[in-house]
Amino acid sequence: MSKRRGSLYTGTDLGKQHDHSVIAVVKKENDAIKLVFIKQFKLDTPFASVIGYLKVINDRLERVYANYVDCTGLGSYIVEDMKNSGIANVVGINFTLESKEKLATVLKETMLKGKFKIPYDRDLIGELNVERYELTKTGHVQFSHPEGTKDDRFWSVALAVYAAGQPPTGEVEGFIFK
């Protein structure tokens, strides 16, 4: 992983026993967004190790403008741990029906416009294509994946792409911890 030109953004989906932790890094140049790095951790990897890895990414790349992290079930403490370790511009996203719908919609629209590029990665492409959605009675979209598959890469990429489209202040409507 070398320093790259352009604005960089990370998305981190945290998991522990049943889900993997995944860090995705995207580069934004003009209107195009490109996935430049993705790391899936083994199950049961301590959060401290994931935070340390994210810190190394931020230190090496130097041009990371925002780090969006899934803090569902973990609360603001994970965001505070990241900030205390020296990671700047951390935005915690609480995964809800509404926030997931917003993240997935931005990812889909970016892909449909041909503005999101990914390297050939069979596992990642599989995760992007297997994610299911269902309209709930309340009018929201609920996401799932078939048994035996994972969606951790999907959500880390969605977080990173969403981050790349936000104002530099890190202000996100309705679902953040600062």
Residue ranges of the chain whose pLDDT lies below 50: 1-4, 170-178
pLDDT score at 140: 73
pLDDT at residue number 97? 87
CA 153 to chain centre: 8
CATH fold of 7-119+151-177, please? Nucleotidyltransferase; domain 5 (3.30.420)
Phi and psi for 166 in degrees, rounded to 5?
A: -95, 155
Dist CA 32 CA 1 (whole Å): 20
- Check residue 126 and give its pLDDT: 84
Q: Where are the domains of the chain?
A: 7-119+151-177
Closest by CA to 40, choosing from 123, 134, 147, 113, is 123
